[in-house]
């Protein structure tokens, strides 16, 4: 055995006896030539001469490779950490942006009511020309109302089921039977509505036929055009306020020149869905049972209804002028009258009125229409109009009887319905008579003053 047996990392030299025998055998068998054997051993001699350097180079290369791999791993971990840091920074920035936006802006106010909140384009010239406050963003509305944006969001937000509604709900009986749901806003919402009424709605013109909730007009001015007429027709709009829904109210503010965002906020402040209390999982919730609309009890509802009904008033007034009738409206009460010779046109009038009312998004109450002809008592919004406008005779007689009996029993004994502050109640009724007929009201007021000292 020689030192070269089993070696696979080198070529043995020709001086090795065993190797020489193998070389001779390869040549004799014709497998290799002497020149090829010589070249193989030349390469082997070079390898023996330089293999230590090659091994060192391999070791250095392996070490460099390990270091390179380690460096790559360190760089990978550093990149991962940097990405994590950047992601955390972006998350923090997003959270800060959301918090800042929630404090300074409103982008969502509930399902099916938030579509226009991204559009902040108001018609500044139109608003300024009308003398209205220029508001383009929800933040502008909050500043005008002198409340923080989060507070405005809370007042406006529409929820299908809420723990704390913005209104106190109660029902009052109707004279015609049944009940009417009233909704009185809480103080903060009432203050916002008062600002909208004062700064926006009260500055808007109304049509000439409208007399309800208009400064300088009353039930008397509504009745006066129908005095001494041959025929008087009374109609009633069914579910007047509930018919004026959130989209219609938003349209009123948008047509004035307010951006869709501001129009949405103002409309939400002025509308509410009818709600009923339910118990769910031990919790009391107020659940919406209808569409958002003008609530009975908000100070803005009458003025908004007059704006929504402007086209209705124009169309009915134009139709009546062509037909020889006179038209006025007090809230949901429509009154038409005509001189002699027009009784045959009443059916045509009623058909056209119903058609126009339907086209304008309202409906005539099927059970509250009256046709009052001369010869019978004609009453318009509680005022008798057969001759000059006068107070209903029954009301004057009732007041006179109460005051006469109170001389013997005192006012308290006459308060059979337990009306709170009965004296103020009587003064209000007398004031109504006075607004229509001062002569009839004077002795009633004198009798009440004598009783109360």
Half-sphere exposure of 18 (CA within 13 A, CB side): 8
The confidence score (pLDDT) of residue 346 equals: 94
Q: Are 160 and 290 in contact (CB under 8 A)?
A: no
* Among candidate residues 368, 374, 453, 339, the one with its CA nearest the CA of residue 407: 453
CATH 3.30.70.270 for domain 209-243+303-389, yes or no, is yes
Q: What is d(CA 15, CA 7) in angstroms, rounded to the nearest whole number?
A: 16
pLDDT in tens, 23-67: 889 889 989 899 998 888 888 888 777 777 777 777 778 888 888
Type and span of the H or E element at 275 = strand 275-280
Q: Are 378 and 230 in contact (CB under 8 A)?
A: no
- Which of helix, strand or coil describes residue 124? helix
pLDDT in tens, 170-194: 877 766 666 777 889 999 999 999 9
Q: What is d(CA 166, CA 157) in angstroms, rounded to the nearest whole number?
A: 10
Going from the C-alpha of 6 to that of each of 11, 69, 230, the distances in angstroms are 11, 35, 137
Task: Indicate whether this model's pTM tops 0.95.
Answer: no
Domain ranges of the chain: 1-104, 106-199+245-293, 209-243+303-389, 393-452
* Among candidate residues 373, 355, 376, 374, the one with its CA nearest the CA of residue 364: 355
Per-residue pLDDT of the chain (453 residues; tens, 9 = 90+): 466 666 666 788 888 888 888 888 988 998 989 999 888 888 888 877 777 777 777 777 888 888 889 999 999 999 999 999 999 999 999 998 888 888 889 999 999 999 999 999 999 999 999 999 999 999 999 999 999 999 999 999 999 999 999 999 887 776 666 677 788 999 999 999 999 999 999 999 999 999 999 999 999 999 999 999 999 999 999 999 999 999 999 999 999 999 999 999 999 999 999 998 898 888 899 999 999 999 999 999 999 999 999 999 999 999 999 999 999 999 999 999 999 999 999 999 999 999 999 999 999 999 889 999 998 999 999 899 998 888 888 888 899 899 988 888 888 888 888 888 888 988 988 988 888 888 888 988 888 888 887
The confidence score (pLDDT) of residue 47 equals: 78
Q: Are 279 and 227 in contact (CB under 8 A)?
A: no
Three-class SS string for 298-367? CCCHHHHHHHHCHHHHHHHHHHHHHHCCEEEEECCEEEEEECCCCHHHHHHHHHHHHHHHHHCCCCECCC
* DSSP letters for 158-221: --SEESS-SEEEEEEE-TTSSEEEEEEEPHHHHHHHHHHHHHTGGGS---TTB-TT-TT--HHH
The confidence score (pLDDT) of residue 2 equals: 60
The confidence score (pLDDT) of residue 266 equals: 98
The confidence score (pLDDT) of residue 176 equals: 62
């Amino acid at each position: 055995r020689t030192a070269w047996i089993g070696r696979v990392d080198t070529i043995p030299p020709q001086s090795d006896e065993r190797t020489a025998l193998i070389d001779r055998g390869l040549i004799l068998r014709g497998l290799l030539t002497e020149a090829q054997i010589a070249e193989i051993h030349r390469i082997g001699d070079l390898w023996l001469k330089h293999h230590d350097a090659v091994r060192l180079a391999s070791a250095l290369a392996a070490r460099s490779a390990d270091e390179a791999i380690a460096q790559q791993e360190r760089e990978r971990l550093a990149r991962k950490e940097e990405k994590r840091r950047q992601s955390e920074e972006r998350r923090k920035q997003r959270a800060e942006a959301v918090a800042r936006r929630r404090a300074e802006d409103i982008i969502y106010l509930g399902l099916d009511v938030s579509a226009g909140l991204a559009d902040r384009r108001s018609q500044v010239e139109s608003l300024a020309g009308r003398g209205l406050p220029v508001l383009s963003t929800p933040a502008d509305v909050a500043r005008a109302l002198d409340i923080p944006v989060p507070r405005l969001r809370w007042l406006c937000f529409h929820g299908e089921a809420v723990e704390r509604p913005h209104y106190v709900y109660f029902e009052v009986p109707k004279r015609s039977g049944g009940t009417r749901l009233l909704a009185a806003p809480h103080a903060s919402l009432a203050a916002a509505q008062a600002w909208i009424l004062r700064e926006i709605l009260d500055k808007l013109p109304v049509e000439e036929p409208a007399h309800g909730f208009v400064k300088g007009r009353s039930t008397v001015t509504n009745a006066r055009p129908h005095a001494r007429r041959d025929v008087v027709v009374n109609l009633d709009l069914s579910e007047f306020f509930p018919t004026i829904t959130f989209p219609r109210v938003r349209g009123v503010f948008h047509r004035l020149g307010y951006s869709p965002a501001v129009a949405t906020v103002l409309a939400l402040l002025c509308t509410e869905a009818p709600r009923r209390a339910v118990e769910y999982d031990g919790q009391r919730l107020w659940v919406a049972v209808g569409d958002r609309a003008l609530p009975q009890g908000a100070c803005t509802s009458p003025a908004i209804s007059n704006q929504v009904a402007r086209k209705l008033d124009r169309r009915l007034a134009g139709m009546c002028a062509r037909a020889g009738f006179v038209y006025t409206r007090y809230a949901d009460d429509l009154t038409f009258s005509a001189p002699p010779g027009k009784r045959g046109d009443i059916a045509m009038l009623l058909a056209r009125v119903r058609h126009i009312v339907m086209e304008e998004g309202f409906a005539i109450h099927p059970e509250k229409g009256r046709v009052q002809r001369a010869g019978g008592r004609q009453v318009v919004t509680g005022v008798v109009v057969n001759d000059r406008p006068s107070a209903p005779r029954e009301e004057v007689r009732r007041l006179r009887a109460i005051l006469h009996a109170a001389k013997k029993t005192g006012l308290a004994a006459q308060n059979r319905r337990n009306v709170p502050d009965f004296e103020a109640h009587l003064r209000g009724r007398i004031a109504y008579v006075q607004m229509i007929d001062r002569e009839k009201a004077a002795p009633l007021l004198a009798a009440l003053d004598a009783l109360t000292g």
